[in-house]
Amino acid sequence: MKTKGFKVLAVLTIVTVFVLGLSLSTAFAAKKPKFIKIAASSMGGTWFPVCAATAEVLNRHIKGTIFTTTLGGSISTLKKIDEGTLYMGLSGGSTCYEAAEGIGTFAKKTKKSRTLGVYYSFPFNLVVRADSDIRSVKDLEGKNVSGGKKGWSTELFFTHLLEANGISYDSIKAKGGHVVFAGWSQLISMFKDRKLDCMIDPSPHPSPGVMEITALIPIRLLDLDPETIGKVEKLNRGYVKITCPGGTYRGQDKDVMQLGNPTVMLISSDIKDDLAYEITKTIFENAKDISQVHKVLKGFSIKNAFDGAYLPLHPGAYKYYQEKGMAIPGHLKP
């Protein structure tokens, strides 16, 4: 009997500790985090200084939480937020769409990633030489081309663009072309050396990479026709239309219609509503300070906070936008 009593006591103790542990973990999760890392991209990328400027503004105005910048990426940020190892970070609109639908690189639909607001959008510049015989996407078969590194948002866009025109990597190679997977510095060098016939540069106008090329070689940007744009948008609703004005680059005299990616600041649903509200308010009421860090943020303001956003808003962000009298699209409501 004594042994049995000890067994019962042991079981009750384990159950009590387990329940208490759950209660403590839930209570801990509900507390205001002392540290929030904001995931950018690589150290040399545009997103890193953007996130650093955001963290600096948040640290100046929000007490009790320390914000820092960390390395990240469009896909990894979404996955880490769902894993509960990250609270905030930037991601691309097309990647957010895949995460919302549970397609592509996402086996399941995202459960925790919520939109805080859109910072800016960048075009996918399809660069060819001014004397090139490439006039449309269909002309890429048999050419040497690149959409960047495998798994990048630019490469994802490139596959959508090709698919919309009935082309694949295999069909490009079958007609004697090559598909190159490399970073921007290498691609720019290869383009200058005529080892690439077409490359994608994902930068707002005027792009430093394209300007570097045009210092030596006149270029053209491929103009996307309405049919291609419509087909790409059916494959992924996270893209936005962007016009590049004529005269932006040497050799590019006419307006060019492009597709691009919104840069979206995401926040975890684990963050309490009042803190998410405070973060959203601080960012957009100090947008001018943040925008000083990089020219891609020209025009960064609350007016464009929904442009290209796909994932629902965090309830705290939603409250702030409601207070500001913003017309919130139905698909963004929590």
Where exactly are the structural domains of the chain? 34-121+262-332, 125-260
State the greatest distance between any 2 C-alpha atoms of the chain, in Å, as a whole number.
94
Quick one: tokens of 63? Answer: 């007490």
User: What DSSP element (H or E) covers 75?
Assistant: helix 74-83
- Beta-strand relationship, 219-221 and 88-92: unpaired
Give the model's pLDDT for residue 185: 86
Reduced to 3 states (helix: H, G, I; strand: E, B; else coil), residue 211 is helix
Give the model's pLDDT for residue 31: 53
pLDDT in tens, 307-322: 989 999 999 999 999 9
At the fourth CATH level, the homologous superfamily of domain 125-260 is Periplasmic binding protein-like II (3.40.190.10)
Fold: same for 34-121+262-332 and 125-260: yes
pLDDT in tens, 273-292: 999 999 999 999 999 999 99
pLDDT in tens, 89-148: 999 999 999 999 999 889 999 999 999 999 999 999 999 999 999 999 999 999 999 998
Name the pLDDT band for 32 (thresholds 50, 70, 90): confident
Give the model's pLDDT for residue 313: 98
More confident residue, 182 or 134: 134
34-121+262-332: what CATH class? Answer: alpha beta
Among 274, 261, 253, 225, residue whose Cα is nearest residue 98: 261
Q: How high is the mean pLDDT of the chain?
A: 89
The distance of Cα 93 from the centroid of its chain, to the nearest Å, equals: 5
pLDDT in tens, 238-251: 999 999 999 999 87
The distance of Cα 302 from the centroid of its chain, to the nearest Å, equals: 18
**14 burial via Cβ count (<10 Å: 0-12, 13-18, 19+):** exposed
